[in-house]
Amino acid sequence: MAKSKLILYISLISFLSLVKSTPNIGFTTDLIHRDSPQSPSYNPSLTPFQRIINALKRSSKHSRRFNAPQSNLLYSGGDYLMKFSIGSPPAPSLGIADTGSDIIWTQCQPCVTCFNQSLPIFIPKTSHTYRKISCNTTRCHLLPDSYCSTSREKNCLYSVEYGDQSYTYGELATDTFTLSSSYGNNTVSFRNILFGCGFKNGGVFSGSESGIVGLGGGKASLVRQLGQGKFSYCLNSLSGSSKLRFGSIAKISGRRVVSTPLVRKSPETYYYLTLEGIRVGNEQFLSDSRQEGNMIIDSGTTLTFLPPGLYAKVEKAIRRSVKLKRTKDRAGVLSLCYFTRKDIVKFPEVVVRFKGGDVKLNYENVFVRTSDVAVCLAAKPAEEGPVIYGNIAQMNFLVGYDLKKRTVSFKPTDCGKL
């Protein structure tokens, strides 16, 4: 799973009265930044710059967690929250939505060990649609860390230990997941969603969440279980509302669309692209590695992490072009910062060259303001983790994933107007 990202909160809304009769139409969700006033963990005492610095620090830690030895899944760090309900009758839940994870899990009673959460903990016995999974079924083995109970029932159990020592243990089950509609008080329900009912959970959790909702590429993720085949998102800003879409309405088309292949690699949880290089002004720089699938695209990681050699060349080229006084990043995260109270007016064109197409970045994709007098390059060298295309680079792009055609597409978009 992906860890410590630019945190956004997801409030599920949908066209999904349509989904019951025509499931291929799909649905739309709202993405709300963690630090926005709409977020349950909004802290009004923090300045906008403190919120940005916190996100950058989380992002810097996050890049190292893709390589954690405990599991091929890594805890996302609470980047998005998704509102949904489990069971019949529906019990409200709030899960971290993570594009770098497959498993869906929530805390369940009776708890052996549970972290504090704001919502009541789910009680399986109160749902008449809750069904345990037998360990001799195919669904039990969709997760790599599943095993059989020692009881006569031979139920399917799971265990996940993340790189930051967070963990969840429990039983795999199915139940009805209910999502809120954007129209009136309508809701839509999905039956037999596989998820983990966690009786022993702990680690770095804030308490706003009840568990995790995996949106990765594996078969157990919500994306794959809904069977929509496509999803897209459009990230507005660090504090604005954004959109997440599933199904045919997530298709990206029209002028200025750039598509690049999704590369199949292990683990299948992550979404791998091929970075060929970066152009800064008239200077072309090739990636350190031309291997297929050398970059992970992650909507929850704030910064972009580049191959060290490529990063050094990009930073040097920007330094040659931007003639402003240098300053240090107060947070100690970013290495190239400029002393300025205004946005940088004269800066070189930056183009990310993926296999199959080039993505021209805007100013807000390249630089991030970390104080009232500092603007920094929103990238770091990937010294201790994988190469990652982060969400600052994706802001105000409609980013679409087609899991059948195996492509990711980018289209410049004013996300605030969607």
- Residues classed as catalytic: 98, 298
Establish how many alpha carbons lie within 13 A of residue 132's alpha carbon, considering only the half-sphere containing its beta carbon: 16
CA-to-CA distance for 52 and 303, rounded, in angstroms?
A: 11
Residue 144: both structure tokens together = 């790599």
Please report, for residues 192, 233, 237, the alpha-carbon distance to residue 396 in angstroms, rounded to integers and kept in the order given.
35, 10, 8
For tokens 């909507």, what's the residue? 299
Question: Collapsing DSSP states into helix, strand and coil, what is residue 186?
Answer: coil
Please report, for residues 226, 244, 248, 261, the alpha-carbon distance to residue 405 in angstroms, rounded to integers and kept in the order given.
17, 19, 13, 8
- DSSP letter at 26? -
What is the torsion angle, in degrees rounded to the nearest 10, for the CA atoms of residue 285, residue 286, residue 289 and residue 294? 90
CB within 8 Å of 120: residues ≥ 6 apart = 91, 92
- Please answer whether residues 146 and 140 qualify as being in contact, where contact means their C-beta atoms are separated by less than 8 angstroms: yes
- Please answer whether residues 295 and 289 qualify as being in contact, where contact means their C-beta atoms are separated by less than 8 angstroms: no
CA-to-CA distance for 48 and 272, rounded, in angstroms?
A: 32
Type of residue numbered 335: S
**Selection from 54, 58, 35 nearest residue 301 by Cα:** 58
Characterize 228-241 residue by residue with b for buried, 16 or more Cβ atoms within 10 angstroms of its Cβ, and e for exposed.
bbbbbbbbbebbbb
**Selection from 239, 236, 216, 238 nearest residue 97 by Cα:** 216
